[in-house]
């Protein structure tokens, strides 16, 4: 049986062929004890095929193929379930476009032993963004503040997606209650962790705009997040309509 690492980084992909190999190379160059699970939504640019080629060469890389573009939230939930089944202690969320820089990965491992969720935060002292226009800054900062106030969250960056969970917390969060495909998923995750009295630790990062490729942000994603926050604030967690994440068409990889 191959030696496994304790930490798994889940990287959802859709048309990230120009970023994926570079990112994986940078992650593994850290020698930080990371395994990687690429969750590809049938990218038409060949990202999934590239991921398979990398998995053939690199023992740390695993690939999950999904039938189509099913959304960020469901990609992470599928990855979480696989990570728990495989026995990983620490499970990361990370974008493929270098907006989440690999240099911060050791910081997560430094904090996670004393936390349930660690977030690389743009909105604590020392954190911030780079190469963003005023409109994107306004939407991000305003949306984050709106979610925090409406849901009474203590976490400063509840919309940030650069994260690490302890396995025990992943097993407690009711993921199948979150019918969220976009970045509202990040807000919902923090909401549940705080409601479960989980300890959230934030440390500062600089969030950089993607190097190459096209942003996945859209007004539909913004509206979904707004709707989720309002409904949750008004009706509470128990009134949110649940959903079962369909995994029947997903190909679960065997761990190396």
Q: List the CATH number of the domain containing 228.
A: 3.90.550.10
47 located within any domain: yes
Q: Quick: pLDDT tens for 137-189.
A: 888 888 899 999 999 999 999 999 999 999 999 999 999 888 787 778 999 99
75 located within any domain: yes
pLDDT for residue 211? 57
247 located within any domain: no
Q: Quick: pLDDT tens for 199-254.
A: 999 999 999 875 555 555 555 777 877 788 888 888 765 444 333 333 333 445 55
244 located within any domain: no
pLDDT for residue 98? 93
Give dist(CA 220, CA 223) in Å, integer: 5
Specify the DSSP element, H or E, that contains 36. strand 34-40
256 located within any domain: no
pLDDT for residue 210? 58
Task: Give me the number of domains the chain comprises.
Answer: 1
pLDDT for residue 183? 78
Give dist(CA 158, CA 195) in Å, integer: 14
- Which residues, in sequence order, are CB contacts of 185 under 8 Å at separation 6+? 71, 72, 73, 76, 178
* Residue 180 Cα to chain centre, angstroms: 13
255 located within any domain: no
| β-bridge pairing 7-13 and 200-204 | unpaired
Tokens of 28: 């593994």
DSSP-assigned letters across all residues of 137-167? HHHHHHHHHHHHHHHT---S-SS---EEEEH
246 located within any domain: no
| β-bridge pairing 200-204 and 128-130 | unpaired
252 located within any domain: no
In terms of Cα–Cα distance, which of 27, 29, 21, 30 is closest to 9?
27
Give dist(CA 187, CA 57) in Å, integer: 36
In 3-state terms, what secondary structure has residue 244?
Answer: coil
Tokens of 157: 């960056």
Q: Which domain holds residue 162?
A: 7-239
């Amino acid at each position: 049986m191959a030696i496994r690492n304790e930490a798994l980084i889940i990287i959802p992909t859709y048309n990230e062929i120009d970023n994926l190999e570079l990112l994986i190379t940078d992650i593994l160059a850290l020698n930080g004890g990371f395994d990687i699970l690429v969750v590809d939504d049938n990218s038409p640019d060949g990202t999934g095929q590239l991921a398979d080629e990398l998995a053939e060469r690199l023992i740390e890389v695993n690939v999950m193929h999904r039938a189509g573009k099913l959304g960020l939230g469901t990609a992470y939930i599928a990855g979480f379930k696989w990570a728990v089944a495989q026995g990983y202690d620490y499970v990361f969320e990370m974008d493929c476009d270098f907006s989440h820089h690999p240099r911060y990965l050791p910081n997560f491992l430094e904090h996670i032993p004393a936390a349930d969720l660690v977030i690389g935060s743009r909105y604590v002292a020392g954190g911030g963004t780079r190469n963003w226009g005023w409109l994107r800054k306004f939407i991000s900062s305003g949306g984050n503040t709106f979610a925090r106030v409406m849901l009474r969250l203590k976490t400063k960056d509840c919309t940030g997606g650069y994260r690490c969970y302890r396995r025990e917390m992943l097993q407690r969060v009711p993921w199948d209650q979150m019918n969220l495909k976009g970045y509202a998923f990040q807000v919902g995750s923090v909401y549940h962790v705080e409601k479960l009295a989980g300890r959230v630790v934030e440390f500062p990062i600089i969030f950089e705009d993607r190097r190459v490729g096209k942003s996945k942000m859209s007004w539909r994603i913004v509206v979904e997040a707004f709707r989720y926050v309002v409904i949750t604030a008004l009706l509470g967690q128990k009134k949110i309509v649940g959903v079962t994440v369909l995994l029947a068409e997903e190909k679960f990889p065997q761990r190396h």
